[in-house]
Structure 1
Amino acid sequence: MKTSKIWIIDDNPIDSYIIKTMLELNELSKDIHVFSNNKEALESLEELDKSDSTDSIHIITENKTNAVNGWKLIKKVSNKIIEQKGKLNLKFHMTSEKYSEKDLKKFAETAPLYSLNKKPLRLDHLVNMLNY
Structure 2
Amino acid sequence: MKTSKIWIIDDNPIDSYIVKTMLELNELSKDIHVFSNNKEALDSLEELNEDNSDGPIHIITENKTNAVNGWKLIKKMSNKFYEKKQKFNLKFHMTSEKYTEDDFEKFEKTDPLCSINKKPLRLDHLINMLQY
TM-score by length of 1: 0.96
The equivalences for 1:29-44 within 5 A come to 29-44=29-44
Alignment-derived partner of residue 98 in structure 1 = 98
Deviations 1:46-87 (A, max 9, x none): 1003x6434320000000000000000000011111222212
Structure-2 residue corresponding to 1:79? 79
Which residue is 1:53 aligned to?
52
Q: Which moves more between the two structures, 72-81 or 121-130? A: 72-81
SS at match of 1:93: strand
Counterparts of 1:80 and 1:43, CA distance in 2 = 11
Structure 2 spans left out of the alignment, 5+ residues: none
> Is the Cα–Cα contact under 8 Å of residues 97 and 119 in structure 1 kept in the other structure?
yes
Aligned counterparts of 1:73 and 1:122: Cα–Cα separation in 2: 23
What is the identity, as a one-letter code, of the residue corresponding to 2:34? V
Indicate the SS of the match to 1:95. Answer: strand
- Paired residues in the alignment total 131
- Secondary structure of residue in 1 paired with 2:52: coil
- Conserved 8 A contact 1:53-1:87: no
- Backbone CA RMSD of aligned residues: 1.0
Kept in 2, the 8 Å contact 1:11–1:37? The answer is yes
The residue identity in structure 2 corresponding to 1:23 is L
Structure 2 equivalent of residue 108 of structure 1:
108
**Contact preservation (8 Å) 1:60, 1:93:** yes
**Matched residue SS, 1:129:** helix
